[in-house]
Amino acid sequence: MINFEKFTLRNGLRMIVHHDNSTPIAAMNIIYDVGARDEDPEKTGFAHLFEHLMFGGSINIPKYDEPLEKAGGENNAFTSNDVTNYYLTLPKQNLETGFWLESDRMLQLAFSEKSLEVQRNVVTEEFRQSYLNQPYGDVWLMLRPLAYKVHPYQWPTIGKEISHIQNASMEDVRAFYKKFYNPENAIVVVAGDVHSDEILKLAEKWFAPIDNTGKNERNLPVEPAQTEQRTLEAVRNVPASAIYKVWHTCSRNHPDYHATDLLSDILGNGNSSRFYDQLIKNKKLFTSLDAYIMGSFDNGLFVVSGKIANGTSMKDAETAIETEISRIAIDLVAERELEKVKNKVESNLVFARMNVLDKAMSLAFAGLLGDPSDVNFEGDKYRAVSSQKLRETAQKMFQPTNCSTLYYLKKN
């Protein structure tokens, strides 16, 4: 159980406070309701580039990191297709430094040409390091546009191509900030040995004076149901061929979400999963084979990805995956196997309550999805999934026409 209190400031900023007196560390997590899905298709990679610029100085603070480090703090941030999330931890007695830093960059960023220039280069190197100069690094650059034809999930957070980053202008950046970095578009969570009245006071001092410039109303195109199998082949200089299959699935808030997640656990999570036991250890067709869901806010993907063992043909590999997929769509999952994946979820939920930062982040995500108290009902929702529900969900999702496949072949 994660206790919390919440309130909303007059400018629309939502605040959540979690009390935990077992630690000298306080965490502050700020989630902004903007991700790669909100980008212009001709200017992709912006939400993420922007995340970098958020450290380049704000109106009263020339460098974000220095004062935080001086206060014994540490921070980081990440951008997904759905959100941009900033977080910091510091000794509790220095918590106000966090309020100062975060409110100042919500109030007004101080962009410099130099900072933009440097971060364009840094992100270009990140693009190369994580996507282009890595074996299999370009998979999602191909898979996303294969699966999504309309919805902006068709590009990854790094962007479609390096040129989008390199062409980012000061004007673009200012417009992006104005549109999305607004109190009403964010949730602040504070967790630690703190009480809501002291947090309310700090919030009134630091965040409440920031003007509300209007909430961004999101209106994204809905991906139409896929009606034909899609395939793509890529030949690359890699040591082993790989296969990637994705099926369209529900959104994070959909009632089928928990069943879908458990299906991925049964198939491909851990050393007792069906994929590992049958296809890696027993039949030795793959050297790795995973199943997982993207967990995206809008309709997402169920992903199966595997590295194919030397000597296995692509066709045999694909048939083996399809056999396991149809088995789970036809045969009811046995009680013990279902119990196993539920138990795993139960302990993972406890593991995720081990420190104040993880708890703050969970509350922020749940808050943005609609209700922070959902963090305390996740376990029950997984527990409630029956074998019948799993089969029904699998049958609905694992239609051949709902599937896109990338054959990633090694050059020889």
Partner 1 sequence: MATNDFRTSAPPRGEIDGINLPKPEIFTLDNGIEVYLLSIGTEDMMKVDIAFEAGKVFEKQPLVSLFTSKCLIEGTKKFKAAEIAERVDFYGAHLNTFNTADNAQVSLYCLNKHLGSLLPVMQEVALQPVFPEEEVNTIVAKTREEFLIKLEKVDFLANQAFQTLAYGKDHPYCASVVAEDYDNLNSGLLKGFFGQHYFQGKIRIVVSGRVPENTDKLLNQYFGAHQVYPQKNQVVVPPGQATLGEHFILKENALQSAMQIGKPFINKLHPDYHKAKIMNTLFGGYFGSRLMTNIREDKGYTYGIRSVMLTMMQSGLFYITAQVGSEVTQKAVDEVFYEIKRLQTEPVEQEELDLVKNYLMGGFLRSADGPFALAELVKGVAEYNLGMDFYNSYIKTIKTITPEEIQHMAVKYLQPDSLIKVVAGKK
Query: Of 231-290, which residues contact partner 1 (CB under 8 A)?
Result: 237-240, 270-273, 276-277, 280-281, 284, 287-288
CB of 148 to partner 1, least distance (A): 26
Interface pick for partner 1 out of 40, 41, 78, 132 (rule CB under 8 A): 132
Q: How many CA atoms lie within 13 A of 302 on its CB side?
A: 26
Q: Residue 403's closest CA among 394, 391, 390, 411?
A: 394
Residue linked to tokens 């980053």: 165
Helix, strand, coil proportions of the chain in percent (round to 5)? 45, 20, 35
Residues 62-101 that bind partner 1 (CB under 8 A): 65-67, 69-74, 89-91, 93-94, 96-97, 99-100
Interface pick for partner 1 out of 340, 381, 389, 396 (rule CB under 8 A): 340
Q: Does 201 bind partner 1 (CB under 8 A)?
A: no
CB of 272 to partner 1, least distance (A): 4
Residues 156-185 that bind partner 1 (CB under 8 A): none
Q: What type of residue sits at position 347?
A: S
Q: Does 213 bind partner 1 (CB under 8 A)?
A: no
| Segment interacting with partner 1, rule: CB under 8 A, options 57-65, 290-298, 366-374, 395-403 | 57-65
Q: Does 122 bind partner 1 (CB under 8 A)?
A: yes
Residue 128 or 396 with smaller CB distance to partner 1 = 128
| Segment interacting with partner 1, rule: CB under 8 A, options 179-187, 322-330, 334-342, 363-371 | 334-342
Record the tokens describing residue 282, joined without a space: 């027993």
CB of 179 to partner 1, least distance (A): 21
Asked if 90 and 98 touch (Cβ cutoff 8 Å), the reply is yes
- Residues in binding contact with partner 1, number by CB under 8 A: 82
Interface pick for partner 1 out of 348, 373, 388, 401 (rule CB under 8 A): 348
Interface pick for partner 1 out of 3, 8, 121, 166 (rule CB under 8 A): 121
Residue 319 or 348 with smaller CB distance to partner 1 = 348
CB of 360 to partner 1, least distance (A): 14
Interstrand relation of 403-410 and 230-236 (parallel, antiparallel or unpaired): parallel
Record the tokens describing residue 297, joined without a space: 């806010």
DSSP 246-267: EEE---TTSTTHHHHHHHHHHH
Q: How many CA atoms lie within 13 A of 319 on its CB side?
A: 7
Q: What type of residue sits at position 367?
A: G
Residue 80 or 97 with smaller CB distance to partner 1 = 97
CB of 133 to partner 1, least distance (A): 4
Asked if 361 and 29 touch (Cβ cutoff 8 Å), the reply is yes
Q: Residue 398's closest CA among 335, 331, 327, 326?
A: 326
CB of 370 to partner 1, least distance (A): 26
Q: Residue 305's closest CA among 281, 280, 327?
A: 280
Instruction: Rounding to the nearest 10 degrees, give the CA dihedral for residues 58, 59, 65, 69.
Output: -150
CB of 122 to partner 1, least distance (A): 5
Residue 14: its H or E element: strand 14-19
Residue 135 or 145 with smaller CB distance to partner 1 = 135
Residues 16-35 that bind partner 1 (CB under 8 A): 20, 22-25
Strand partners, 31: 85, 187
CB of 351 to partner 1, least distance (A): 7
Q: Does 198 bind partner 1 (CB under 8 A)?
A: no
CB of 119 to partner 1, least distance (A): 7
Residues 352-391 that bind partner 1 (CB under 8 A): 353-355
Measured CA to CA, the distance from residue 117 to residue 105 in angstroms comes to 19
Q: Does 126 bind partner 1 (CB under 8 A)?
A: yes
What length is written for the chain? 412
Record the tokens describing residue 178, joined without a space: 């104005």
| Segment interacting with partner 1, rule: CB under 8 A, options 111-119, 381-389, 390-398, 399-407 | 111-119
Strand partners, 173: none
CB of 295 to partner 1, least distance (A): 20
Asked if 47 and 38 touch (Cβ cutoff 8 Å), the reply is yes
